[in-house]
Amino acid sequence: MGKELVQVVEFVRGRARGNAVVELARLNLLVGRALSRNAESIPDDPELVARAWVCAREILEHERKAKR
Protein backbone atom coordinates (compact mmCIF):
# COMPACT_ATOMS: atom_id res chain seq x y z
CA MET A 1 0.00 0.00 0.00
CA GLY A 2 1.12 3.51 -0.76
CA LYS A 3 4.32 2.70 -2.66
CA GLU A 4 3.75 5.35 -5.32
CA LEU A 5 2.67 7.94 -2.76
CA VAL A 6 5.83 7.27 -0.76
CA GLN A 7 7.82 7.91 -3.96
CA VAL A 8 6.12 11.30 -4.34
CA VAL A 9 6.93 12.26 -0.75
CA GLU A 10 10.56 11.15 -1.15
CA PHE A 11 10.78 13.05 -4.44
CA VAL A 12 9.72 16.30 -2.75
CA ARG A 13 11.88 15.65 0.31
CA GLY A 14 14.94 14.89 -1.80
CA ARG A 15 14.61 17.74 -4.26
CA ALA A 16 13.54 20.53 -1.91
CA ARG A 17 16.23 23.18 -1.89
CA GLY A 18 14.99 24.95 1.19
CA ASN A 19 13.21 23.52 4.16
CA ALA A 20 11.77 20.17 3.08
CA VAL A 21 9.22 20.27 5.90
CA VAL A 22 7.65 23.40 4.41
CA GLU A 23 7.47 21.85 0.95
CA LEU A 24 5.91 18.67 2.35
CA ALA A 25 3.34 20.73 4.23
CA ARG A 26 2.53 22.50 0.97
CA LEU A 27 2.12 19.11 -0.72
CA ASN A 28 -0.26 17.99 2.03
CA LEU A 29 -2.38 21.12 1.59
CA LEU A 30 -2.54 20.93 -2.19
CA VAL A 31 -3.39 17.23 -2.26
CA GLY A 32 -5.80 17.46 0.66
CA ARG A 33 -4.31 14.50 2.53
CA ALA A 34 -1.49 14.15 5.07
CA LEU A 35 0.81 12.38 2.64
CA SER A 36 4.05 13.27 4.37
CA ARG A 37 3.06 11.23 7.44
CA ASN A 38 0.60 8.67 6.08
CA ALA A 39 1.73 7.87 2.54
CA GLU A 40 2.53 4.26 3.43
CA SER A 41 -0.94 3.59 4.81
CA ILE A 42 -2.98 5.36 2.10
CA PRO A 43 -3.93 3.12 -0.85
CA ASP A 44 -2.41 4.07 -4.21
CA ASP A 45 -5.55 5.42 -5.85
CA PRO A 46 -4.52 6.38 -9.42
CA GLU A 47 -6.32 9.72 -9.23
CA LEU A 48 -4.67 10.61 -5.91
CA VAL A 49 -1.23 9.56 -7.16
CA ALA A 50 -1.62 11.65 -10.32
CA ARG A 51 -2.73 14.68 -8.31
CA ALA A 52 0.19 14.21 -5.90
CA TRP A 53 2.72 14.12 -8.76
CA VAL A 54 1.24 17.24 -10.36
CA CYS A 55 1.33 19.10 -7.05
CA ALA A 56 4.89 17.93 -6.30
CA ARG A 57 6.14 19.22 -9.64
CA GLU A 58 4.31 22.53 -9.17
CA ILE A 59 5.87 22.99 -5.73
CA LEU A 60 9.39 22.30 -6.94
CA GLU A 61 8.99 24.41 -10.08
CA HIS A 62 7.69 27.33 -8.01
CA GLU A 63 10.62 26.91 -5.62
CA ARG A 64 13.13 27.02 -8.50
CA LYS A 65 11.58 30.18 -9.94
CA ALA A 66 11.57 31.88 -6.54
CA LYS A 67 15.29 31.17 -6.00
CA ARG A 68 16.33 32.92 -9.24
In sequence order, the 6+-apart residues with CB closer than 8 A to the CB of 10 are: none
pLDDT at residue 40, as a whole number? 95
* Rounded average pLDDT over 9-37: 94
3-state SS of 15-30? HCCCCHHHHHHHHHHH
Give the start-to-end residue ranges of the domains of the chain. Answer: 3-67
pLDDT at residue 67, as a whole number? 63
Are 68 and 28 spatial neighbours (Cβ–Cβ below 8 Å)?
no
Burial of 18 (0-12, 13-18, 19+ CB in 10 A): exposed
* 17, pLDDT greater than 90: no
